[in-house]
Amino acid sequence: MQTKELNILVVEDDDFQRQMVINMLRSLGVGSIHDAENGQLAIEMVRGNTEKLVDIIICDLNMPEMDGLEFLRHLSQERHNVSIILMSALGGRLLGSAARMAKMYGIKLLGAIEKPVALVQLKSMLLKYERSENKWLDAASIADGFMLKDILQGIEADEFEPFFQPKIDLATDQLVGAEVLARWNHPRLGVVGPHGFIPQLEQTNNIEGLTFMMLEKASLALRDFHDKGHTFSLSVNISLASLDDTAFADKITRIVREVGLEPNHIILEITETAAMSYAAHALENLTRLCMKGFTLSIDDYGTGYSTMQQLTRIAFSELKIDQSFVTDLSDSEAMRIVVESSIEMAHKLQVKSVAEGVETQKDWNTLKRLGCDTAQGFFIAKPMNLASFVDFVHNN
């Protein structure tokens, strides 16, 4: 979407500040700009706007009638498909808390800006909106999911395929791997993201079939890359539900070896909440996978509970810092400290640190300065099908 096609609503009670933001948006070429002096008027405008939907709302926090926090709550309850930029003169820490609250409400947050707002900040947010459109469409696609029988039929019909998101070494800028992400090539709806099928498969203990399919297809692709001289690893996500099957480690090993690949080229990503569930069966599987030669990675690090204990239970070799910390890294001192501490701890434990959700050059530069090992995210590349990933590998 071009800037001139955007429809933006500015919600700010101070007349001067509101006009200043409007003037900046005009200078950036925004085609349609509306304004409101409090959240109550803004929510009424959003509700009544049926001809041209609002793309972005730039919202102050401290306002009369209805403040920014209440406005965000109402917006989330009504499920309006709009992106938000927060702004406030109340300080970075409070703005950061409001931003995290917005994300917890499911708001599509572009970022938070301390007043006075600068033109370069607004421009950066608009560019971020353009980069993020496809990501949000994918995450929201088929939000309520499909019937289980339809998903299982899709698996039986081999309609699922792996997409690949590159992982780049921050020190050398070299490709060191990719995360494998399942996508459904639906015969009627096109490519469907994981929100449409993963929850149903996990809740009904039907996830293993898809896991094995993705692992086999990804391993075949990786073997071909290795045969052509491209030696890197692939990361595959493992569900907590699978770890209760004591034969799981042997099944995984057999699939990888039968396609002519050794386990040491596969990284198995275990979510932190899954790693936390240290039932004997899960612990046996994870230990056996290490014995077989697989690399284990703690995924979504920092989002679960009893985090420090996780690192001492299993022989993990990689720690993936969750994107919720990385996204705010450049604009939040608190987030930077958390990420820096995670990187330092990973290095002291002699495991690799991986940052996911890297979306800007600024994030990349900060992570590089902090000594993070590896990065992945939209700044590098979106998840792509095998054909596109082959081109990416050949051109990098």
**Which residues does the annotation mark as catalytic?**
356
Answer whether 45's CB lies under 8 Å from 69's CB: no
φ and ψ at 81, to 5 degrees? -85, 80
State how far the Cα of 342 lies from the Cα of 297, in Å rounded to an integer. Answer: 14
φ and ψ at 170, to 5 degrees? -70, -25
The vertex-201 CA angle with 354 and 185, nearest 5°, equals 80
**Strand blocks (E) in the chain:** 7-11, 32-36, 56-60, 83-88, 108-114, 160-169, 175-186, 190-192, 233-238, 266-271, 295-301, 318-321, 352-356, 374-376
State how far the Cα of 253 lies from the Cα of 261, in Å rounded to an integer. Answer: 10
State how far the Cα of 35 lies from the Cα of 42, in Å rounded to an integer. Answer: 8
State how far the Cα of 130 lies from the Cα of 3, in Å rounded to an integer. Answer: 9
User: 384: which DSSP letter?
Assistant: B
Report the half-sphere exposure of 146 (CA within 13 A, side-chain side): 21
Q: Point out which residues pair with 111 in neighbouring strands.
A: 85
Q: Point out which residues pair with 60 in neighbouring strands.
A: 87
State how far the Cα of 201 lies from the Cα of 210, in Å rounded to an integer. Answer: 9
- Identify the three-state secondary structure at position 57: strand
Report the half-sphere exposure of 263 (CA within 13 A, side-chain side): 17
Answer whether 274's CB lies under 8 Å from 238's CB: yes
Q: Which two tokens stand for residue 210?
A: 């898809």
State how far the Cα of 206 lies from the Cα of 202, in Å rounded to an integer. Answer: 6
State how far the Cα of 310 lies from the Cα of 343, in Å rounded to an integer. Answer: 15
Number of other CB atoms surrounding residue 147 within 10 Å: 9
Answer whether 382's CB lies under 8 Å from 161's CB: no
For residue 134, the surrounding DSSP H or E stretch is helix 119-140
